[in-house]
Amino acid sequence: MKLWGGRFSKTQDTLTDDFNSSISFDARMYRQDVEGSIAHASMLGRQGIIPAEDSALIQKTLKEILLDIEAGNVEFLVDAEDIHMNIEKILIDRIGDVGKRLHTGRSRNDQVALDIRMYLRKEVQTIKGMLLELEKTILTIAKDNLDTILPGYTHLQRAQPISFAHHVMAYFQMISRDIERLEDCYKRMNVMPLGSGALAGTTYPLDRHFVCEQLGFDRVTENSLDGVSDRDFAIEFSSTLSIVMMHLSRFSEELILWSSLEFGFVEMDDAFSTGSSIMPQKKNPDVAELVRGKTGRVYGSLITLLTMMKGLPLAYNKDMQEDKEAVFDAADTVKMCLPVFTKMLATMKIRSDNMIKACRYGFANATDAADYLVKKGLPFRSAHEVIGKMVAYCVEKNKTLDELTIEEYKGFSNIIEEDIYKAIDLKTCVNDRKVYGGPAKEAVLKAIENAESLIAGK
């Protein structure tokens, strides 16, 4: 008989059991369920709601159950529906009627709200640690490539020269914001709902603040209806993970392009590449492609949660059981992607020769040539026109700007002198951009210094 079956005269159909059960996916919250139950039992005894000796026995037995679960000695049952009822059933099987006292003053509604918050707190910390490792890898690459020059792009067209260090540090900034979002999400997640009951609290004199302190929450929920029906924290967490994956996907897209023969800027290590079953020459960036593909899966989890919650009246509805598979899958996917992406990044070979060649033949120094004329007194729009004609000439003659002779330069403007060659040297183009946040070596070194301080504070 179900633990809630007193009102029913018929047993459930086996199809209903299978359809209604969530143990196949919420079993992973066993530790949080046991720890929450131990804190609840401790409070019940402390408040005199149940006898102190019963509270002590319940706590002792729950700890034993936890050890047995982790040792693989417990089999969860589908007809017990969920992790909460499974653990309570095991408890009652072991200590009889004393175990039936555990659920005094609580509902599965506030119990599951507690468990999922506790579980996701742990996931936030795990993913944050993985993001920090990715940041450290980015910093290592940046330090090793302060003088590596590649073209920066707009519209996927070669635009201006920057350092590879500056380029990868842009992703450091993205990941830093991801960590900030996780930390901010944690604040709203770390609120204790137990004591909300099914929706209207309880007549028992619960000490919610004691349970809050025992379980490491910052505060308790302020409204019992909201306490059991809120899943904003799961949506916010999934939204944050979606942004994480968007950043990984953007980075992956660049790595996929860069590893093609058309770019040749990087080469993936053999350990993070695959071959073709038919074409023996192929070396495919499958890890980066899979990260890009799995981004859609995490987006799907976010849409699932938003759609599930959008039409629900207060308070708890069974629809909300669908939150766990979605948010668990989002977290699992991110935890799968981050370590392999970080290792792939750390082991890739950087082809600086191809990067510098792309700068020269892409006229990445054209803006600097225009700036040179401006500094000689020509209005910018006039300088822009002169250099535009110069680039068209170079395309026709299959030359780069630095391959033009001084006579050819003077054919476009007689104010051009020999110092044009220094002005359009790619290193000059990069390192003269010393504005804070820019690509000059000294600016990037400052950015790295700031980044290291940021990581040290985490």
C-alpha to C-alpha distance for 173 and 158, rounded to whole angstroms:
23
Write the CB contacts of 312 (distance below 8 Å, at least 6 apart in sequence).
229, 319, 320
Task: Say if CB 87 and CB 67 are below 8 A apart.
Answer: no
Q: Write out the two tokens for 302.
A: 């976010």
What single letter denotes the amino acid at residue 232? D
What single letter denotes the amino acid at residue 316? Y
Residues in the chain: 458
C-alpha to C-alpha distance for 428 and 434, rounded to whole angstroms:
11
Write the CB contacts of 125 (distance below 8 Å, at least 6 apart in sequence).
none
What single-letter DSSP state applies at residue 197? T
C-alpha to C-alpha distance for 26 and 73, rounded to whole angstroms:
18
C-alpha to C-alpha distance for 323 and 307, rounded to whole angstroms:
10
Select from 39, 51, 30 the least CA-distant residue to 101: 51
Select from 32, 216, 200, 214 the least CA-distant residue to 111: 32
DSSP bridge partners of 150: 162
C-alpha to C-alpha distance for 39 and 59, rounded to whole angstroms:
8
- Identify the residue whose tokens are 């992956």: 252
For residue 50, the surrounding DSSP H or E stretch is none
C-alpha to C-alpha distance for 83 and 21, rounded to whole angstroms:
10
State the catalytic residues. 155, 276
- Give CA 241 to chain center in angstroms: 4
C-alpha to C-alpha distance for 8 and 344, rounded to whole angstroms:
57
Write the CB contacts of 256 (distance below 8 Å, at least 6 apart in sequence).
285, 288, 289, 292
